[in-house]
Structure 1
């Protein structure tokens, strides 16, 4: 694979690639690795034309090795945005190594209890996580890790709070839960042509509320089918 441009997710993406007014952007299984997720999203928003679309796929933590981790919070997203992370934080590195479990989508969908799964790094997970965090601190090297963990609903909650703070500029188009046996959920969002902040905020709120109800209705249907 040839890399045309390298961008850390901080600063101007438009300056890095030398263009803007793009029709769409696609990021498949990328966003969870980005240290400053909100800054990264704002950078992509800036290079899209009004009406331009960003499509994401993200892991649903409930169906893969992040199942034992807590959902990422707006506090963590704000911290990463204000500190303008260009590398995963020590907390992000530590949590990724220590909290990952040795279980996959097939086992979870088959009914295995994730709470009974061993840690992915075994008995050495705690010491290894501390070692990696320490080495990252002293060397300043980039340690790839899952910086963010979400479910579809927790992602909606996070971007809703970010939008209220003016830190999330997109309007959501669609969100699709993981298919049975899978672990990815999908999000589509657009750069709207609306320049009035209040009007934009109204569209954001309406879209998030609608998509939240869609997801909750799907969950209710799934529970009914599981007990029928």
Structure 2
């Protein structure tokens, strides 16, 4: 299962080429030392992660690897990614599974990643789809919010991010979403919890949360806006739909070819992004017989139905060929000389049995 998911995240990238940095592996690294020459970085060191997730049944503390780098300085301030790993950079690949939606400043983070990559390096992303997780009631991230966070120089999630996350999160799984079950109206965090997290944020703590709710098409639109504004140094090389029954989508971002004219590189990146976006399924719900299902799920059912029809057509064609061959054999046997009744009789008996 882990190898299959890693293959979906990595795509065509060869992790054996060059060195790799994985951001926020927690207890489930995508890339192991057996697969690539990898380094790990997180907000705090391993002991800090173990303490933070103590008692969380979803996190096995023994599976958390040692972090080579961490962002939190001894004085409590938070460094950028580029500052934290500067001495070890550059890397051929940066892997970030369920990370980009957490970063306080997406523009600054993407620039940091570009800074620590080789000139032709790639950022490999796994991103939760807000429609199939606890973000289902959240509005999609907008380019205005993303730029505001960058201009404000956010190093920790903002008041807006903390409140939107903790006030709107619900207990909702991908399995429930794909089954067409409506999400619960009741939030999963009592208001006292919301106030506590807000007070921590106001005191300067790093309150981890989903800052940017995303979908595949929403991510494509956001990247296109940022390319137009000249705020990102990446072209989107690969962007997948969320697989039916699952909760995440995948993207490969490649550093822009800066030796070329910047305007030319951006236009080419936008054209490729438009092509990728056009291949994504519609994300609006579709009403069918009184029920509402995701358009992608309907498209997947229709695709499977078309494949079944194609297989049925091939089976019928093979059956018809067999019948024609049988009829020709019978006709040939009937036209055989009369001195071979034994052969004709045996053939007719086989035909009747078949």
Q: Give TM-score scaled by structure 2 length.
A: 0.58
Corresponding residue of 1:51? 120
More divergent stretch after superposition (192-201 vs 86-95): 192-201
Over alpha carbons, which structure has the higher Rg? 2
Pairwise CA distance, 1:192: 3.1
Q: CA-to-partner distance for each residue in 1:151-188, whole Å, 9 max, x for gaps?
A: 01011111111111111110111011221221011010
Deviations 1:4-55 (A, max 9, x none): 1123786571674314342111001111111011111111111212221110
Q: Which residue of 2 aligns with 1:130?
A: 195
User: Contact 1:14–1:46 at 8 Å: present in 2 too?
Assistant: no
Gaps of 5+ in 2: 1-64, 73-77, 284-293, 306-354
Q: Which residue number corresponds to residue 20 of structure 1?
A: 89
Change (3 A) 1:12 1:59: closer
The residue aligned with 1:202 is 267
* Count of aligned pairs: 223
**CA RMSD after TM alignment:** 2.3
Q: CA deviation at 1:92?
A: 0.6
Q: 1:194, CA displacement in angstroms? A: 3.5
Q: In 2, are the aligned partners of 1:14 and 1:20 still within 8 Å (CA)?
A: no
Q: 1:22 to 1:103 in 2, by over 3 A?
A: same
Q: Which has the higher contact order (CA 8 A, sep 6+)?
A: 1
Q: Counterpart of 1:40? A: 109
Q: Which sections of structure 1, spanning at least 5 residues, go unmatched?
A: none
Write out aligned runs for 1:45-124 (5 A): 45-114=114-183, 116-121=184-189, 124=190
Matched-pair contact (CA < 8 Å) for 1:10–1:43: no
CA contact (8 A) 2:224 2:270 kept: yes
Q: Hey, what does 1:155 align to over in structure 2?
A: 219
- More helix per residue: 1
CA drift at 1:147: 0.8
Deviates more, 1:35-44 or 1:214-223: 214-223
TM score, norm. by length of structure 1: 0.89
